[in-house]
Amino acid sequence: MTTNTTNSAAARELNDELMVELRGVNKWYGQFHVLKDVNLEVRKGERIVICGPSGSGKSTTIRCINRLEEHQKGDIIVGGTTLNNDLKNIETIRREVGMVFQHFNLFPHLTVLENCCLAPIWVRKIPRKEAEAMAMKYLERVKIQDQALKFPGQLSGGQQQRVAIARSLCMNPQVMLFDEPTSALDPEMIKEVLDVMIELAQEGMTMICVTHEMGFAKTVADRVIFMDKGQIIEENDPHNFFNHPQSERTQLFLSQIL
């Protein structure tokens, strides 16, 4: 296993280009104040892990980044484009941001290959043949090319999640968001998905991962962020985050999951 030192952002000499910025982001669901002044800067090539108790606002945070949820106050900037009500900006940002969900969200009535080709053909306007060739390339990368003509329901959870990752990659995103991608998987399938995510990280993908897989965090994260009750409570490099948590809430959380 690689050490954090060789893996760290500093060691990889990241450039300073910001891929994702959240500045004073606030969100309410009705009366409920779900995100409270969330600030986050993610540089190109950086790998961020977000953890925290259930209901702390992790999903809401990353869903705001590609406008699956709308924030009410503060700024979200992705690849230099500000997320506002301008549909053009929203489309630009969605094209740059890939998202992988806990429950895969594949289209059940489409084959694996069709799932991967749909957006490239209809959103990117890539000719079908070309889209299929590209999809096969990404399906190979997640080692599932032999399942291309099956339907999602015929695959295991781990296989479906790898398809979901390949489908995102087909849009050639600048940033990948993961929302607990292994939480719905049987234990023996978690590794095959994490291995794909680790490879992606090693290839330099900018990643924001909500996950409680602390082994993954220790191996690939440049920074670990702890959220509680809609706020970022603490962030640090993995070594210091796990070995020297500062706040009591972080300590309590870690004592419960480690």
Residues binding ligand ADP (CB under 6 A): 29, 32, 34, 52, 54-60
Contacts with Mg ion: how many residues (CB under 5 A)?
1
When asked if residue 211 is in the footprint of Mg ion (CB under 5 A), the reply is no
Residue from 173, 93, 96 nearest 138 by CA: 173
* CA–CA separation, 224 and 40 (whole Å): 12
Smallest distance from the beta carbon of 100 to ligand ADP, in angstroms? 14
End-to-end CA distance of the chain: 19
99 forms bridges with which residues in the sheet? 177
* CA–CA separation, 5 and 17 (whole Å): 22
Task: List, in order, residues 6 or more apart from 47 with CB less than 8 Å away.
Answer: 201, 206, 207, 209, 220, 221, 222, 223
Smallest distance from the beta carbon of 34 to ligand ADP, in angstroms? 4
Smallest distance from the beta carbon of 145 to Mg ion, in angstroms? 31
Q: What is the CA radius of gyration of the chain?
A: 18
Smallest distance from the beta carbon of 27 to ligand ADP, in angstroms? 9
* CA–CA separation, 91 and 199 (whole Å): 28
57 makes contact, choosing from ligand ADP, Mg ion, none, with CB < 5 to 8 Å by partner type, with ligand ADP
Smallest distance from the beta carbon of 98 to ligand ADP, in angstroms? 18
60 makes contact, choosing from Mg ion, ligand ADP, none, with CB < 5 to 8 Å by partner type, with ligand ADP
When asked if residue 59 is in the footprint of Mg ion (CB under 5 A), the reply is yes
115 makes contact, choosing from ligand ADP, Mg ion, none, with CB < 5 to 8 Å by partner type, with none
Compare residues 58 and 67 and give the one whose CB is closer to ligand ADP. Answer: 58
Residue 168: DSSP 8-state: H
Residues in touch with Mg ion (CB under 5 A): 59
